[in-house]
Amino acid sequence: MARESQLVLGVDPDPDALWPRAQARAQEGGPLDVRLGAAFTEQGRALIDATAPACVGVKLQLACFERLGAAGWDALRTLTDHARQAGLLVIADGKRGDIPVSAAAYADALLGDTESAWGTAPGLGVDAATVNPLMGTDALVPFVDAARAGGRGLFVLVRTSNPGAADIQELELAGGGRVWERLATLVDQLGEGEVGEHGLSSVGAVVGATAPEHLIRLRELMPHAVFLLPGVGAQGGSVGELAPAFGPGRAGALITASRAIAQAHLARGGAPEAAARAQAEQLRAQAWDLPV
């Protein structure tokens, strides 16, 4: 992370909100799913090209691509390569989680490879993936193992950015604390014994930027976790309140913004590319200037 940024560009292509150059791709020949796949790829590529100098990584929202089936997975692979060529880290935001044997398959799909008697099929090959901890430690261990084996990372959901986060994550426990505090402890335990040179482990946490009042406690419970902070912009979170997330230093947290960047021209005016670049640079500077 040599560049002075903690900003992660969220790529969540929406067929109703594509930039003109992506719309043009959707009008070219071929089956609809392939045309939309090309449009999503163009949208992602244009976003990356416009904002890469202000960003340290890209977060691909798997749900958006999964709508197109195989064409969506082709787009994911192309964008993963494109982001890497732009010098960006790639985070697959799929929030996967399953029993150990299936979690291992997800880990192969995103962070590793699939071995077979006929050769090795490469996975998406991203640098990090988001995972859901509801099923407990044994469902997370295959992801942790895959991340460690490949020098990659994980972001475990701890306290998410949506209003519904309160329904389960905020429940108070009989033993004291809330569910999200228990999830935070689990993240800390999974990362134990493997803290790198910056004091950070490969097991990070998703912590919504929409509930900054929890950041001090979350940092206390997870001193070595990188925080992935979604929710700035469209969801109502603001960069200025996120300082406590950067506990161990500037590398301690990543701020993601998706619609705030892709739709910046609606508020700022001008061409989408220029508006996205200006918005990303503004978010980057705001985050970099936070006191750490």
- Annotated catalytic residues are 95
61 binds a copy of itself, rule: CB under 8 A: yes
Q: Compute the least distance from the CB of residue 2 to a copy of itself, in Å.
A: 31
Near a copy of itself by CB under 8 A: residue from 2, 116, 197, 291: 116
Footprint of a copy of itself on 229-288 (CB under 8 A): 230, 235
Q: What is the SS3 assignment for 145?
A: helix
Q: Which is nearer to a copy of itself, 138 or 220 (CB)?
A: 138
Report d(CA 115, CA 121) in Å as an integer. 6
Footprint of a copy of itself on 24-53 (CB under 8 A): 26-27, 32-33, 35-36
69 binds a copy of itself, rule: CB under 8 A: yes
Near a copy of itself by CB under 8 A: residue from 179, 255, 264, 290: 179
Measured between its terminal Cα atoms, the distance across the chain in Å is: 17
Whole-Å CA distances, 128 to 71, 80, 104, 237: 22, 11, 15, 23
Whole-Å CA distances, 238 to 21, 162, 257: 30, 14, 11
Phi, psi of 270 (to 5 degrees): 85, -175
Among residues 242, 193, 195, the alpha carbon closest in space to that of 218 is found at: 242
Mark the segment that binds a copy of itself (CB under 8 A) among 68-76, 146-154, 238-246, 266-274: 68-76
78 binds a copy of itself, rule: CB under 8 A: no
217 binds a copy of itself, rule: CB under 8 A: no
86 binds a copy of itself, rule: CB under 8 A: no
Among residues 40, 39, 41, the alpha carbon closest in space to that of 24 is found at: 39
Query: Cα angle at 59 between 96 and 165, to 5 degrees?
Result: 55
Footprint of a copy of itself on 138-167 (CB under 8 A): 138-140, 157, 160-167
Mark the segment that binds a copy of itself (CB under 8 A) among 177-185, 242-250, 264-272, 282-290: 177-185
